[in-house]
Chain A
Amino acid sequence: DTAVSQTPKYLVTQMGNDKSIKCEQNLGHDTMYWYKQDSKKFLKIMFSYNNKELIINETVPNRFSPKSPDKAHLNLHINSLELGDSAVYFCASSSTVNTEAFFGQGTRLTVV
C-alpha cells in the first residue's frame, strides 16, 4: 500500500483555471505538508497542517488554499492559475515527534 498518495500525477491546464490536487496518507500521522519544487529542484514548504489545523503558511499567495477534511487528507486548491505556478507539488506527512517526513510521488503541474 502506498503510504502517501497524491493525485493526479500530471496536470496540464490553461492560465486562469482553477485546479485541485489531492493527498492522502495511511500512516496515521498527525502532520501533513505541501511542498513546491521548482525547476532548479529547490523544495520549498508551502503549508503544514496538524490534526486538520493550519500550522504553517509560508507566504503563499491567497490563490492557494489547502483544505484538510480529516487528518489523513490534505488537498490543495489553486485558483486563477498562473504560468509561474508550474512546478512539481509534493505532499508529505510526519508524526509530531522528531521523525522524518514521508513524501508522495509528486504532481507535475504545467500551466500553459
Chain B
Amino acid sequence: GESVGLHLPTLSVQEGDNSIINCAYSNSASDYFIWYKQESGKGPQFIIDIRSNMDKRQGQRVTVLLNKTVKHLSLQIAATQPGDSAVYFCAEKLWQDKIIFGKGTRLHILP
C-alpha cells in the first residue's frame, strides 16, 4: 500500500547536538524521496531529496540516508540550531507525480 510513516512524533534535542529524524515507507517501487520542513504558519519547505539509486546525499548541515532494503529514510541535522525548530516531513513521489507525506515529526530545540 501507499504509506510513509515516521517512528517518533516529537523529538527534543539540545542546541548544538545532532538530530536524526526517521521515516519508513512501504512502496518498494518508489524512486524519489523528499524531506520538507514546515515552520509555524508556513507551507512545507524543501530541505533535501534523494533518488533511489543513491544511499546518501548531503546538503548544508543536512544529510539524508536511504536504506532500500528495509525501506527506511532518515534526515540528519548537524549542530542543531534554534531555527531548526519545526515539523519535518518525509515524502515519497509515486506514479503520476503523486507526492504523499508521512505524519511529521516535531523537532524541539532545547537551550
Contact = CB atoms under 8 A, between A and B. Distances in A.
Interface of A: 4, 31, 33, 35, 40-45, 48, 50, 55-56, 90, 92, 94, 96, 98-106
A50 B99 CA distance: 14
Interface in B83-106: 87, 89, 93, 96-101, 103-104, 106
B31 A102 contact: no
B43 A50 contact: no
A96 B98 CA distance: 10
A44 B82 CA distance: 28
Given A41-B104, A102-B46, A103-B44, A48 B96 contact: yes
A108 B36 CA distance: 20
A42 B42 contact: no
B104 A55 contact: no
Contact of B43 (A31, A40, A44, A103): A103
A33 B99 contact: yes
Contact of B31 (A98, A103, A105): A98
A55 B96 contact: yes
Give the interface size class of chain B: 20 to 34
Nearest to A94: B97
A96 B43 contact: no
Interface of B: 31-32, 34, 36, 38, 41-46, 49, 51, 87, 89, 93, 96-101, 103-104, 106
B96 A103 contact: no
Given A43-B101, A45-B99, A106 B43 contact: yes
Contacts of B99: 33, 45, 92, 94, 101
Contacts of B101: 35, 42-45
A41 B89 CA distance: 10
A50 B97 contact: yes
Contacts of A102: 46
